[in-house]
Amino acid sequence: MTELPVLYSFRRCPYAIRARMAIAASGIKVSLREILLKDKPRALLEVSPKATVPVLVLPDGEVIEESLDVMRWALNTHDPLGWLTEAAFDSHWIETCDGEFKYWLDRYKYTDRFSEHPAALYRKNAENFLAEVEATLSNSQWLAGSSAGAVDVALLPFIRQFAGVEPTWWVDAPYPRTREWLNAWLNSALFTKIMAKYPRWEPSQLCQTFPSEAPNPQTH
């Protein structure tokens, strides 16, 4: 039996979500090790001392430690949905999302840790990025161009996180096209598959194959 790559993941982590999306879209099978970030297994620390997820360990021992690099690896291996089009990863969208937007998103989501300013101020600063997203989606169904692409997938988990901070506010926020774009992804079969719940991995247990042909239906 061919040895599968090993993916260390945490279900709700936005970086891990984008990596799982690309892996699932590629059709590649991996052995999933679902971890708890507050109790990281020694096996993860041994292959990646920075101990963040996702971490992908290939059968030849190569370790891929960054979410975008995991996406590149998966889609360069097989890209049946054509996500590696146009700008792909060389995009200001990803740079801004992972930089400025993530900075304000963290403060908006974790206001108790950043109590020097009210949540509304952090949200307003994060909305600068959302306004740009909304303007683009008002003229195009996708951020990546004429079809869905790696850029859309890379941004999806972070905009999902933003929308979840104040769901009632988000419903009436002035970003209707962004909501439509987000909901299309969240309601997709692919997203449902990659958000299936897996039990926490223990060293004494076999890894579970991801994506599963019959995922746990409890996806929320």
CATH number, residue 113: 1.20.1050.10
Domain that includes residue 104, residue range = 92-187
58 & 28 share domain? yes
Cis peptide before 211 (omega within 30 of 0): yes
Q: What is the largest CA-CA distance in the chain?
A: 55
Encode pLDDT of 163-194 as tens digits.
999 999 999 999 999 999 999 999 999 999 99
Res 212: pLDDT:
82
CATH number, residue 44: 3.40.30.10
73 & 101 share domain? no
115 & 172 share domain? yes
Res 205: pLDDT:
79
- Closest by Cα among 107, 101, 99, 120 to 159: 101
- Total domains, the chain: 2
pTM above 0.85, yes or no: yes
